[in-house]
Structure 1
Amino acid sequence: MPSPLPLLPPDLSLLSALAGAALKAGEVILRIRAEGLSVAQKSDESPVTAADLASEELLRAELARLLPGVPVIAEEAVAQGKGEALGAPAETFLLVDPLDGTREFIGASGEFTVNIGLVEAGVPSFGIVLAPAVNKLYAGATTAQGSGAFLGGRDADPATWASIRCRPMPRAGLVAVASRSHLDPQTSAFLADLDIAEKISCGSALKFGLVAEGRADLYPRFGTVCEWDVAAGHAVVRAAGGSVCRPDGSSLPYGRTQADYRVHGFIVRGAGS
């Protein structure tokens, strides 16, 4: 797989703007977290907090300003059966998880993220994964002009970001990353058949970031998730030279309203895979 190419300034401008939106949402989440949590249950019995809802409201407004006319498919709107989430998305649309890792958020872990993914022609092209509690910002984009992935902190200015890339997949001694809260038996069995030198447990979309910055080689997930859990991290890993695909090796599809945006497993790999 070719090395990522540097992005041109116009692309960095959009990536920076998306990062700015995520950082604003992160501030709202941290403020609500500091004030104390009230937890409710959604219809699928997963938890939701005021921080999820406030973050999504802010992000929808910011993204409508940045990319007017581009549909926003966001987790809480889909859960409530509201708005454009009910219809098939356009050729270009945004997938948003306003607070990925709600269980980690409730449990006072810093391993929760704000995820923004821009999908074009079925493929995530721009992605932001922000972990506001630990000051980590992953950003990545792939365009006709080039691609690049970056690691930053509390700043939306690309001049403060460091370039990152996936490391080449080794033949043996892999470093794997797996879910802290949702490790399923099939994922455990998959890892057991590989030469794993180290396994890192981590929450939310931070796992994509660890592969993108070359700290891990592999992130398998065989349990069912949703497209907004995956798209932003997929864009970052893709821009860093890695890959995200279905367990059978086929491309991961997006915008599947008929499947309620469900993703039945995926595997993230580093460079050369």
Structure 2
Amino acid sequence: MIITQELLNQVDSLARKAGAAIMEIYGRDFSIEQKEDKSPLTEADAAAHQIIADGLAKLELKAPILSEEDTAGFAGTDEHGRYWLVDPLDGTKEFIKRNGEFTVNIALVEHGKPVLGVVYAPALDVGYTAAQGIGAFKTEGQNTPMAIQVAAYQAGTPWRVVGSRSHAGDSLLQLLEKLGENELVAMGSSLKLCLVAEGAADVYPRLGPTSLWDTGAAQCVVEQAGGTVVQLNGEPLSYTNTQEVLNPFFLVLGKSDVNWPALFA
């Protein structure tokens, strides 16, 4: 399937519309519930989900929707192996902390691979858009979208490693020891992947739990910017098996000569 700039723009507009609804709630007191897995749920998650689900249903490209806020409503891919993968509010913990590092994530997956991705951070007014055949772009505020690409690691310089504000652990510290001199950049939500995509970081090791909807859109941005998102064994992170929504541990990589799987052997 050939993805058009028009479709990418429509999905970007939809993410921004959901972001506006999130920011309206962000600016006042809001309710917080707890899901079965003990993760938090706010009214902003539900509001953004409804906007995105309604908007995707109106697009010319029709595909099933797998959203974090409605997994039961997903019956599987269409006959072309396609589906929309949505996290209406990625980084709910960051939203509750009011640190601005939360995003709206919308991806189009085809045969297990994200082929279109939009990541929008409404509190920062920063967006990332990408699609096969189009490339990867970053938009700050009302500025013109700028093409982005991953960085090539320069030997002898400190590694710029992205870590999670909410999920750092011993495994990450052990990896940092193997890498040698490094600078740790803390960030929330799918913005961690986007830092690698725009060349602001060299690697993001994710050695903790994530779900398909946390990564799909940003993975497309990374890949279209020339980077890779792989499991610890070097195999690509895949979205084929929607019955298993938890991702394996993975690495988000710019360009380097490091044999990453060997570090985990």
* TM-score normalised by structure 2 residue count: 0.90
- Give the whole-Å Cα distance in 1 for the aligned partners of 2:46 and 2:250: 27
Q: 1:153 aligns with which of 131, 136, 140?
A: 140
Matched-pair contact (CA < 8 Å) for 2:176–2:182: no
Please give the residue correspondences for 1:16-27 in structure 2 after superposition, counting only pairs within 5 Å.
Answer: 16-27=9-20
Q: Does 1:66 pair with 2:71?
A: no
Distance 1:187 1:67, change over 3 A: farther
Matched-pair contact (CA < 8 Å) for 1:23–1:130: yes
1:170 corresponding residue in structure 2: 154
Aligned partner of residue 170 in structure 1, secondary structure: coil
- Give the whole-Å Cα distance in 2 for the aligned partners of 1:199 and 1:272: 18
1:108 corresponding residue in structure 2: 98
Q: 1:207 aligns with which of 184, 192, 200?
A: 192
Aligned partner of residue 210 in structure 2, secondary structure: strand
- Give the whole-Å Cα distance in 2 for the aligned partners of 1:50 and 1:68: 28
Q: Provide, for residues 46-69 of structure 1, a one-character-per-residue CA deviation record: whole Å limited to 9, x for no partner.
A: 000000000001000111112553
Please give the residue correspondences for 1:1-273 in structure 2 after superposition, counting only pairs within 5 Å.
Answer: 11-78=4-71, 82-84=72-74, 87-90=75-78, 91-142=81-132, 146-154=133-141, 160-172=144-156, 173-259=158-244, 261-271=245-255
Q: Provide, for residues 227-250 of structure 1, a one-character-per-residue CA deviation record: whole Å limited to 9, x for no partner.
A: 000100100000100000111111
Note the C-alpha offset of 1:154: 4.3
Aligned partner of residue 225 in structure 1, secondary structure: coil
Which runs of structure 1 show a deviation greater than 3 angstroms over 4 or more consecutive aligned residues? Answer: none
Note the C-alpha offset of 1:170: 3.0
Matched-pair contact (CA < 8 Å) for 1:151–1:161: yes
Q: Provide, for residues 200-247 of structure 1, a one-character-per-residue CA deviation record: whole Å limited to 9, x for no partner.
A: 000001111111111101001011210000100100000100000111
- Structure with more relative contact order (C-alpha pairs < 8 Å, separation 6 or more): 1
Matched-pair contact (CA < 8 Å) for 1:165–1:241: yes
Sequence identity percentage? 40
- Give the whole-Å Cα distance in 1 for the aligned partners of 2:121 and 2:183: 23
**Paired AA for residue 155 in structure 2:** R
Note the C-alpha offset of 1:11: 2.3
CA RMSD of aligned residues (A): 1.7
2:261 corresponding residue in structure 1: none
1:4 corresponding residue in structure 2: none
Choose between structure 1 and 2: higher helix proportion: 1
Matched-pair contact (CA < 8 Å) for 2:159–2:183: yes
Q: How many residues align?
A: 253
- Bigger Cα displacement from structure 2, 214-223 vs 180-189: 180-189
Note the C-alpha offset of 1:15: 1.3
- Give the whole-Å Cα distance in 2 for the aligned partners of 1:109 and 1:103: 9
- Give the whole-Å Cα distance in 1 for the aligned partners of 2:59 and 2:66: 15
Aligned partner of residue 237 in structure 2, secondary structure: coil
* Structure 1, unpaired ranges of 5+: 1-7
Distance 1:41 1:15, change over 3 A: same
Q: Provide, for residues 146-204 of structure 1, a one-character-per-residue CA deviation record: whole Å limited to 9, x for no partner.
A: 3411111345xxx8201111111333421110111011322222222103431100000
